[in-house]
Amino acid sequence: MSANLNKLVVMLEMQNAMNTKVHEQWFSQGFEWNRAIWVECAEMLDHYGWKWWKKQTPDTEQVILELVDIFHFGLSLRIDGETSYLALAKQLEEELSSPQTADDFKQTLEILAASAVADKTFNAAAFAGCMVQIGMNIDDLYRGYVGKNTLNFFRQDHGYKDGSYIKVWNGKEDNEHLVDVVKNLDTEHAGFAKLVYQGLEARYPKT
């Protein structure tokens, strides 16, 4: 199995685990992941900048974070409880390796959003096009995805649902702590997600 294929399988497994943690019967809930995709696309456009009547500079880091969030929803749309993760990963790898791009990032993003609205699908080729135009590769996606997914687990384990979770500690939001933890780790390590979790645990205030 290629390194990229393995990364996609890992992300699919992690997505199913996260969705199951939030709701054990998530398959039968009819969650509208496609709506989550196009809403994120709109939010991302604000971070990228689209208003011709004022000066705007793309916030590339924030755009990448939003793309990672969209990938969570895209994976959730693809997982059907029947098709194997390997088969889904192969399908995604093929689509991601053939990026669909328009004239600029904004227009490519609109292709991604349009597929989510009109067809209720995750257009992985347009997603790959957005990655190309923002300067992001599969390793960046994997690092961002595993980090955010692990943070979501960490939040759930530390009282996110009942409101006891502390989102800001030592003057930084948990997202910022995540960035610090991830940049010191090897993404190729088999236990990457576990190391991210341990890194967050070590920083989190002991109550």
Question: Which range (2-6, 22-26, 151-155, 161-165) has the least confidence?
Answer: 22-26
Please give the distance of CA 105 from its chain centroid, rounded to a whole number. 18
pLDDT digits (tens, 9 = 90+) for 167-199: 998 898 998 898 889 888 888 887 888 999 999
Enter the pTM of the model.
0.88
- Burial of 160: CB neighbours in 10 Å, binned 0-12, 13-18, 19+: middle
Structure tokens given for 49: 């900048």
pLDDT per residue as tens digits for the range 33-90: 999 999 999 999 998 988 888 888 888 888 888 999 999 999 999 998 889 999 999 9
How does pLDDT run across 136-160, given as a tens digit for each residue?
Answer: 999 899 999 999 999 988 998 998 8
Alpha helix ranges (H) inside the chain = 3-22, 33-48, 60-78, 85-96, 105-114, 124-134, 138-157, 174-182, 192-203
Q: How confident is the model at residue 207 (pLDDT cuts 50, 70, 90)?
A: low
Give 149-164 as a DSSP string: HHHHHHHHHTTTTTT-
Over 90: is that where the pLDDT of 161 sits?
A: no
C-alpha–C-alpha distance, residues 27 and 42, integer Å: 26
- Domains of the chain in start order, with CATH, are 1-136 (1.10.4010.10), 137-207 (no CATH)
Tokens describing residue 44: 């991302």
Question: 3-class DSSP state for residue 40?
Answer: helix
For the segment 99-134, what is each residue's pLDDT rounded down to a tens digit? 999 999 999 999 999 999 999 999 999 999 999 999
pLDDT band at 24 (very low <50, low <70, confident <90, very high): confident
Q: How far apart are CA 148 and CA 65, in angstroms?
A: 9
Query: How confident is the model over 95-107, as pLDDT tens digits?
Result: 999 999 999 999 9
41's CB contacts (< 8 A; 6+ apart) are 70, 109, 110, 112, 113, 116
